[in-house]
Structure 1
Amino acid sequence: MTASKPARWKARDIPDQHGRTAVITGANTGIGFETAKALALRGASVVLAVRDVDKGKHAVEALALAAPAARVRVQRLDLGSLASIRAAAGELRDSCARIDLLINNAGVMYTPYRTTVDGHELQFGTNHLGHFALTGLLLDLLPASPAARVVTVGSAGHRMGGPIDLDDLGWHRRPYDRTAAYGHSKLANLMFTYELQRRLPASGPLAVAAHPGGANTGGSRNALSHSSPLTRAAFAAIRPLLLQSPGMGALPVLRAATDPDVRGGEYYGPRGFQQSKGHPKAVRSSPRSYDVSLQRRLWSLSEELTGVAFRL
C-alpha cells in the first residue's frame, strides 16, 4: 500500500492547507466543527457558514483556543431560505477571491413535518435544495483543479425510506414519514454529487460525497429525541457499539476534501462494520443512488425549485 493511501487514514494525513479557503456549512458544532478545526490546524482559512451567528462566534472562540493561528470567520447562512442563500453567496463572492473547498455539511434530521421559508418540505429543502443552490451560486469560485472540491455530506440513512417520489417531494399525497423524508434528502445529496461530477470539466474541481457513520453529535441526539421512549432506551443500550466521536466522524469528510488520490464521484465512509465506525475509505452507496436518469430528473427539478442554474 502506498503512503498516500494508509489503511488507517487520520487527520495527520491531511496535506498542508496554507493558502486555501474552505467554506463549511453548519460548522459551529459536531462534524462541521471538527472538520473546520482539522483544516484550520493545517493552515486553511475557514469560513463557518451557519444559521445562528452567535453560535458561530462561540465556535470561532473555541477554534482559536485549539488553533491560535487559525484564520476563521463566520458567515450567516440559513439553508432553509433561498433569499438567505443568495445573500450569503453574494457576501462570500465579495470576500473570497476563490474557494478551494466547499463542504456541504449542515442538515436537519427526523424533524416533524415543517416547511422551509420557500414552502419546501424542511428536510429535503434544507439538506438538498439549500446546498444545491449554494453550490450553484459559488461553483465558479472554485479553481479548475482536482485539489478543489465540493464535498457533500450524506448519510448511511440514504438507504431508508424506499423509493424517492420526485412527483411528491412535498408529501402532499401521502402521510408524512420523517424517517423516509430524511433518507430521501440524503439520497438526493448523493445523486446531486454524482450528477455534478459528470457535468464538471475534466480539469476539476471534483464533486465528492462522504458520510460520518454513527457519530455521537448534538444533531444525532436531537434526532433521537423525536423517537419513542422504547427506541431511545434501546439505542442507549447499543450506543457504544454504533457511535464514534465527532472527530472520527469527520475523517471521511476530511479525506474526501483533501486526499490527493481522491477521484471525482467517490463516496467515503468508515471502514468498520456496517460503515458505522472506523477510519475512512471509499465505499459504495445504494444502487438507486447511481440511477443516472433519476439523477438527471432530480437535477432539473432542483433547478426549477431553487431558480439556480449552474454555470458549467
Structure 2
Amino acid sequence: MSVYPVGVSDASCATPGCWCRDRVARYPSDLTDAQWQLLRPEAKRVMAELRQAVGRPMVHDLRAVLDAVFYVVRNGVEWRALPVDFPPWEAVYAFFQRWSQRGLPERLVDRLRHRLRVRARRDAQPSAVVVDSQSVKAADTVGAGSRGFDSGKKINGRKRHIAVDVEGFLLAVVVTAANIGDRLGAKLLVIALLNVCTRLKVIWADSGYDGAPLTRWIHSVAGATLRIIKRTEQHTFRVVPRRWVVERSFGWLLRYRRLVRDYERRTEHHEAMVYWATVLLMTRRLARHRTDPPIVQRWGQPRPVASRPDPTPPA
C-alpha cells in the first residue's frame, strides 16, 4: 500500500479537512508509484504548455486529483459521491472541467500513445486507422437536444465514434446523438483525426461507412483511402480482419463503468471521460512493460516472446 510522499508533493492542500498530501492509495483505480512516475512528467509538461489560460491555480495535490478523476471514470459514481480521502468534489470537478476544455487528456493520450508505438517498434505517427461507432444508453441527466434514438440498435442515447491505430490505441473520439448516421459521424471524426494524425493514408471501416460520396470526401479532405471490410458470413461469429481491433478497443472502454452508460450533460464531457479512461489504460500498460525483461531482436529473426515465471509454487 503506497503512501503519497509528503516532501515530494506537487502542491500543498490549503483546504481544511483535506488529507490529500499523505493520502494512502487504497482503491483499484488509484495510480501505483510506478504508474505515477510515468504519468507525472507527462502531465507536468502538458500543464506547462497550457498555463497561458487564465484561472485560479490548483492548490491540491495533482496525484490526488488525478486519482479522484480516475475513481469516477472507473467506478461510475457521481462527483458528489467521491470518498472523503480525496480533495473536495468541487475542486476535482473544476479540475476535470477546466483541463478537459483545454485539451489536457487528449495531449496526454497523444504522448502516451507515441511511447507505446515506439516501444512496439512502430512509427510515432500512424498511417492507417480503424473507425467504428458504438451507441450507449443515456441517463435522465442527458438533455433531449443532445440525444437521439438509434433505430438499428434500439438505443435511446448517444453514439461515440472512435478511431484507433492498428494496436488499438485511441486517436480521436467524437460523441453525437445516437440518431446520427455513421457516414456523418465519420466526417466529424476525420476532421478530429487531422489534428493528431498528419500522415493518414488508409482508413478501415465496416459496411456502415460504404458509399462513393464518403469515399470521395475523405480522399479530397484527408488524402486517405477508405477501405470497407465486409463480413463474409452472416449470423456466425467470425473474427473480421482489421475490424476486430476497434471492437477490442470498445471492450477496453466498457471496463470503465462511467462509459457503460452516458451520464454527461455535455458531449464534450463524455469525450473527456473516454480520454481519461484511455490515459489510465495506457499508463498501466507502460508501467507493466517497464517491468518486463528487454527484448532483443535481430533482422531476419522472429521476435522472441518474453517468458513469464510459473505462478505455481514448487512442490
* TM-score over 0.5 (shorter chain): no
TM-score of the superposed pair, with normalisation by structure 1: 0.27
TM-score of the superposed pair, with normalisation by structure 2: 0.27
* Structure number with larger C-alpha Rg: 2
